[in-house]
Amino acid sequence: MISGFVQGRCFNKALELFREMEAENVKPNAVTMVGVLSACTKMKDLEFGRWIRSYIEQNGIKMDLTLSNAMLDMYVKCGSVEDAKILFDKMEEKDIVSWTTMIDGYAKLGDYDVAKSFLDAVPRQETATWNALISAYDQNGKPQEALAIFR
């Protein structure tokens, strides 16, 4: 239901349902928390996202790769690349989504050197990682740099 509300752009209803679950003592799992983080991301509610992070830790919800990536995405899209970097560094497992999220976050901040250093550190580079940096350059009025990365 929470994910359905998020997909239907009813973010407040998704968060209300999460609060109702809590009030009814229904224990959420990682899938529930991905939906809640998605609502936070869409609402750009960093403080609630940070609260969700502590809620996950306090309630012993396993931070699997999908949940970690959802949290990275929330941090980046809510403007806290610093929080994303702390989480990224703690992640035992990372995939192309993890790396691309970090590249995108730093690139959108205009910190292209750090974004490029993440690109260089990706264990297995894929088109998505390159596209994140190229797109950020282009969207920030740097077409020559975008072309240089493409080349």
Alpha-helical runs (H) found in 78-124: 81-90, 96-109, 112-121
- Tell me what percent of the residues of the chain surpass a pLDDT of 70: 100
Six-digit token string for 118? 């993440």
Q: Is the pLDDT of residue 68 over 90?
A: yes
Q: How confident is the model at residue 97 (pLDDT cuts 50, 70, 90)?
A: very high
Average pLDDT, the chain: 90
Q: What is the mean pLDDT of residues 14-32?
A: 91
- Tell me what percent of the residues of the chain surpass a pLDDT of 90: 56
Which range, of 55-59, 85-89, 106-110, averages the lowest pLDDT? Answer: 106-110
Per-residue pLDDT at 16: 92
How far apart, in whole angstroms, are the C-alpha atoms of residue 35 and residue 8?
Answer: 12
How far apart, in whole angstroms, are the C-alpha atoms of residue 85 and residue 80?
Answer: 9
CATH 1.25.40 fits 94-151, yes or no: yes
Q: How confident is the model at residue 84 (pLDDT cuts 50, 70, 90)?
A: very high
Domain ranges of the chain: 1-90, 94-151
Q: What is the mean pLDDT of residues 102-116?
A: 89
Give the contacts of 113 (CB within 8 A, at least 6 positions apart).
none
